[in-house]
Amino acid sequence: MQTILIATQKGGTGKSTLARNLSVAATQDGRNVLCLDLDPQGSLRGWWESREADTPAMLDRDPPPHDLRATLNGAKGQFDLCIIDTPPAHPEWLTETLEAADLVLIPVRPSPDDLRAVGTTIAAVNGAGVPFAFVMSQTPRARITEETARILAQHGRVAPANIAQRVVYAETSATGQGVTEAGDDKAASEIAEIWQYVRGILNG
């Protein structure tokens, strides 16, 4: 089983949105996916509870962060991929959860505030020595999007497709769907491209 942790201390950057949509895209690609929600806000679980399909899976209860490794060990016979959402914070348990991941995805909105805040997350993933990639999130069609991607590329890999600012992402947070199930071709194609990119990294 491979593990993707979605993390950045900045709030509202699109962590839960990425977790939801990537878990559905991976499921549609034939992976047996487990979602874990380490955020007490429970956004990922709330979405999953309103979902009709029973895949991707969630456990009856999410583990306390210090028990993550034991939970992953217990899940590895049953699932191929675990996608973990985290809170907008820099908790004391962050390092141990980063170290449990095969890949960390860091969503970043194209704004100077987000760029300033992401430095702490970059330092944490580098400190943990875990592979990571940035995913540009809630992007407008504007020069600031390209400029942010250019700056991020100086610090690590940037996914080749952006999660654009689209109503369907907010709508599907209530319907329990992924955008790849919701009939919005543009959103579906950017999520499919991000999943292909992530899959390529995981396959080494």
Ligand X SMILES: Nc1ncnc2c1ncn2[C@@H]1O[C@H](COP(=O)(O)OP(=O)(O)OP(=O)(O)O)[C@@H](O)[C@H]1O
Instruction: Give residues in contact with Mg ion (CB under 5 A).
Output: 15-16, 43
Among positions 32, 55, 95, 173, the unique one binding ligand X when judged by CB under 6 A: 173
DSSP for 128-177 reads HT--EEEEEEEE-SSHHHHHHHHHHHTTSEE-SS-EE--HHHHHHHHHT-
Q: Of the candidates 94, 78, 77, 113, which has an alpha carbon nearest to the alpha carbon of residue 38?
A: 94
Residue closer to Mg ion (CB basis): 43 or 165: 43
Q: Is 95 in the site for ligand X (CB under 6 A)?
A: no
Shortest Å distance, C-beta 41 to ligand X: 6
Omega within 30 of 0 (cis) for the link into 40:
no
Place of tokens 């990294």: 201
Shortest Å distance, C-beta 73 to Mg ion: 25
Contact track, ligand X, 106-145, x by CB under 6 A: -------------------------------xx-------
Query: What gap in Å lies between CA 166 and CA 156, rounded to an integer?
Result: 26
Place of tokens 């999520």: 191
Place of tokens 């806000």: 41
Residue closer to ligand X (CB basis): 111 or 173: 173
Take residue 111 and report the two structure tokens written for it: 């704004």
Q: Is 178 in the site for ligand X (CB under 6 A)?
A: no
Number of chain positions touching ligand X (CB under 6 A): 20
Q: Is 16 in the site for ligand X (CB under 6 A)?
A: yes
Query: 33 has which bridge partners?
Result: 81
In the list Mg ion, ligand X, none, the entry touching 17 (Cβ below 5 to 8 angstroms by class) is ligand X
Shortest Å distance, C-beta 74 to ligand X: 25
Take residue 132 and report the two structure tokens written for it: 């990571």
Among positions 48, 134, 169, 195, the unique one binding ligand X when judged by CB under 6 A: 169
Under DSSP, the state recorded for 193 is: H
Residues 34-93 that bind ligand X (CB under 6 A): 39, 41, 43, 88
> Which residues contact ligand X by CB under 6 A?
11-17, 39, 41, 43, 88, 137-138, 163-166, 169-170, 173
